[in-house]
Each structure stands twice: as C-alpha cells, then as structure tokens.
Structure 1
Amino acid sequence: MPETARYEPTERTVPTRSRDRAAYDRDLVHSILDEGYVCHLGFVRDGAPVVLPTLYGRVGERLYIHGSTGSRPLRMAGEQDPGLAVCLTVTHVDGLVLARSAFHHSINYRSVVVHGTAHQVVDPDERRMALDSLVDHVVPGRSLDSRPADAKELAATAVLRLDLEEVSAKVRTGGPNDEPEDLSLPYWTGVVPLTRGYGTPIAAGDLDPAVALPGYLAEL
C-alpha cells in the first residue's frame, strides 16, 4: 500500500494485544469516523484523566469539536501552549459474539483512536466552516438548510481542531474463537448482528405544515 494511503504506525498506535486487528488505512479510518456521531475526548486536568463525549466533524485530515467557551477542554486548549494533549476515540459495535465459554465472549467492532494536540480555532472563516461541518456530519446538507450562527452565538461557541496524524483503527469481525475442547459443549454460539436505523422524521409541533420534509432527510 502506498505510504500516502496509510497513517504511519507509532509507539502509541500499535496495540499490545491483537495486533492483527490494527489497521492504518486512511480510507478505513475515514469511513469509521464519518459513520459515527459521538466521539470520546480524553485529556488530563489537574493531574487526573477526564473523558467527555461530544459531537465532531471531519474535514479532510482534521477533526473539529465544538462546545461552550466555558467548557474545560476548549478553555484549556486556549490557555495551554502549544495546545491541549488529547486522545480521541470513536467506536461502532457491529455484533455480539456469544461463545461456548464465558471467557471468549466478545463483540465485533470498528474503532479509531487519535492521539495529538488540540488547538482552539480562532480564524473566523475556519470557525464557520468547522461549525458547518459539525452540522453536516450529523445530517449531510443540513447546514445549508438552517440559519447560520449569529455573532452572539459564535461568541459563545469555541471550536477545537485536531489533526489526523497519529491515528489507528482496530476491527474485529467473524464468529467466536472457542477452545477445541469446548466445541462439543451444548451451548448456543454465534453472532447477534447489530444495525443502526433511522425512524420516520417527526415534525416539531410548531412547524408550518407548508414546510415539506427536505430531500436529504427523506434519503436517510
């Protein structure tokens, strides 16, 4: 695989267990990130670890995270030089793996771990672009079909930028890995697939009946 198509493994991105499940393919990493909605952002505050769930958006080789100007990670990223050291994760659970032995129960999953330094976005144009990307990450096309943030809302919103440089994916697929001596045990074994679906959009009670359901929502 050409070097341009993968992230370079580092000491932090090579797992100590199940190394065969690790991957550094950019397209795979991007697909896992683009399919998710919530990431978990880890950092250290006052010597103790903190992990927060939050929305994110990807633009090329950058992730954007937003929050209140008073939130801890966004405030710390602006106060610290050269930024805030973070670890960001995204995980999808694709199936429940039920083995004959309790020890070998598992899940099928796809995950991404990003290590790096988060920086506050101060450029006005980049901030607006980042906020649009966050909206479109949840529902593609939505940023053009809603009122943009005004000056007051922008002043109350901070944005973090995290470059995709030290990155790895990890994937488990397939069935249970039972021990040979357990194969004759009389317990059901296999995989229970998990899938994500969308329900029918429910209009707000105060929506003008003349406003039709947008096409990008119907396509979901």
Structure 2
Amino acid sequence: MDGSYPVTERNKVRRLHERGRYDRESVHAILDAAMLCHIAYVIEGQPYCTPTVFWREGDHLYWHGSAASRMLRAQKGGVPVCLTVTHLDSLVLARCGFNHSVDYRSAMCFGTAHIVDDPAHKARALDAMVNRLYPQRAATLRESTAQELKATTVIGMAIEQASGKIRTKGVADEEEDYALPIYAARIPVVQVLGTPEPCPRLPAGVPLPEGLRGFVAGRRLDEVMTENAG
C-alpha cells in the first residue's frame, strides 16, 4: 500500500499548500485523535452537513445513526460524501488583524458512503465502535436486541482520497511589527476530561473497567482517543 493518498483537484490543498499533508500516517493521526466528525453530502441539490461519532479501520471509515435518518436513507445506494475532522489547538493573537490565526489539525476524506447490510458485519462494526471509544468494553455489555440492531444503521466508506492540513507556528507577525507595543500571544485550547460521575443507580461494588483506566480527569481527550486507537 502506498504511503500517501493520491492527490487530485478534489483533495489538493490550495491555500497555504505547505500546510498540506497527504501521507496516511499524518491523515490517520488526525482522524484517530477525534471522536466526532462532520459529514457533508447533497440530497436533491440541497447541501447538508451532519455531525456524528465515527471510527476508522485501516482505510475505511464508519459511522452510525438512526435507521430513520434522512442522511442514512439517502446514502443507502451509495452517495459521494466528504468527511472532515478538525482539532482547534490554539488561538493566535498577532499585532495586526490580518495575522490573527489559530493553530489546528484538520483532515478531509472523500469517498462513497454505503450502508453495511450484512448482519454479522454490522454487529462487528458496532462492537468496533464501542471498543474504539472505550477499549475492551463491547464484550462486557448486554447483547443488543434484534430491534436495537434494526433501529441502527451502519455506514461505511473507503477513503478514496484525503488530505490533512496542519498549522503549529503560533504568532507569525511581519518582521517590522515585532517591536510594536501590542500584546501578542498563543492561547492553547484543549478538550479536557472531567471526573467520572457514576450512575446513581450503579450497584455497589461495580469496579471501573480496565479499558477505561485511561479516562483520567485532567487528561486531553485527543490524547486518550489516540491512545485508544492503538
């Protein structure tokens, strides 16, 4: 397998092209650090963009939702989609408005979405989703009922093309502006886990599962997601 996704007019980074990444390692790292994505598609000429939980297996992406979802119904026969992920890493305050910016990591993936119809594949995919977010958890849960599985649709998409885009340089002013007495700074932005709040009806003595040991208060969510992706 080639180490990079093919570059065409569809996925080529046009503005600030030096920030572009097409290698699988970079793109997958951005995807694996995320729990949520946005999926853009068109139904009868009307554009839509839907946020949802997703997971990656190799060069395939998966997501799920209600079987009654308009998006999922439209994708049953195979619909071109664009799946995006963005991590906001910092706010950048410069000495002029033009140079204000943000540090970020983003990925854009293109492919044709299709419904996973095979029952065994669907069940494995849903278990993979749980384990992707919460390692080793699926095997400890009550088995889903036939009605629950029927009410849930799983969508798969092979990544045909993809690109990443990364900015990490913080403040970048014009050389002559650095001497100006104007406050400039990089303000980090992170999603941080809080302290777990057990269900009030949790029976006494139920321990924290081993697979959730990484969910420690104060840890960054993107770091935990990357760790879980293994």
Per the shorter chain, which TM-score range?
Answer: over 0.9
State the alpha-carbon separation in 1 of the partners of residues 170 and 14 from structure 2: 22
User: Residue in 2 aligned with 1:125?
Assistant: 120
Which of 11, 27, 30 in structure 1 is aligned with 2:28? 30
Structure 2 residue matching 1:133: 3-state secondary structure: helix
Structure 2 residue matching 1:110: 3-state secondary structure: strand
Which of 27, 50, 53 in structure 2 is aligned with 1:52? 50
Superposed displacement of residue 113, structure 1: 0.2
2:116–2:154 Cα contact (<8 Å) kept: yes
2:102–2:170 Cα contact (<8 Å) kept: no
State the alpha-carbon separation in 1 of the partners of residues 93 and 140 from structure 2: 44
1:91–1:109 Cα contact (<8 Å) kept: yes
Consecutive unaligned residues of structure 2, counting only runs of 5 or more, are 216-230
For residues 144-159 of structure 1, the aligned pairs below 5 Å read: 144-159=139-154
Are 2:198 and 1:203 equivalent residues in the alignment?
A: yes
Superposed displacement of residue 100, structure 1: 0.8
CA RMSD of superposed structures (Å): 1.4
Structure 2 residue matching 1:56: 3-state secondary structure: strand
2:60–2:158 Cα contact (<8 Å) kept: yes
User: Residue in 2 aligned with 1:99?
Assistant: 94
Identify which range, 195-204 or 151-160, moves more after superposition. Answer: 195-204
For residues 172-191 of structure 1, the aligned pairs below 5 Å read: 172-191=167-186
State the alpha-carbon separation in 2 of the partners of residues 147 and 34 from structure 1: 27
Identify which range, 209-218 or 101-110, moves more after superposition. Answer: 209-218
Which of 71, 74, 77 in structure 1 is aligned with 2:72? 74
Consecutive unaligned residues of structure 1, counting only runs of 5 or more, are none
State the alpha-carbon separation in 1 of the partners of residues 142 and 97 from structure 2: 52
Identify which range, 140-149 or 159-168, moves more after superposition. Answer: 140-149
Q: TM-score, normalised by structure 2?
A: 0.89
User: How many residue pairs are counted as aligned between the two chains?
Assistant: 215
Identify which range, 208-217 or 83-92, moves more after superposition. Answer: 208-217
State the alpha-carbon separation in 2 of the partners of residues 37 and 219 from structure 1: 15
Superposed displacement of residue 133, structure 1: 1.9
For residues 4-23 of structure 1, the aligned pairs below 5 Å read: 4-23=2-21
1:65–1:159 Cα contact (<8 Å) kept: yes
User: Residue in 1 aligned with 2:135?
Assistant: 140
State the alpha-carbon separation in 1 of the partners of residues 133 and 214 from structure 2: 14
Identify which range, 134-143 or 14-23, moves more after superposition. Answer: 134-143
Which portions of structure 1, spanning 4 or more consecutive aligned residues, are displaced by more than 6 angstroms? Answer: none
Q: TM-score, normalised by structure 1?
A: 0.93
Superposed displacement of residue 24, structure 1: 1.1
Identify which range, 94-103 or 190-199, moves more after superposition. Answer: 190-199
2:93–2:171 Cα contact (<8 Å) kept: yes
Q: Percent identity?
A: 43
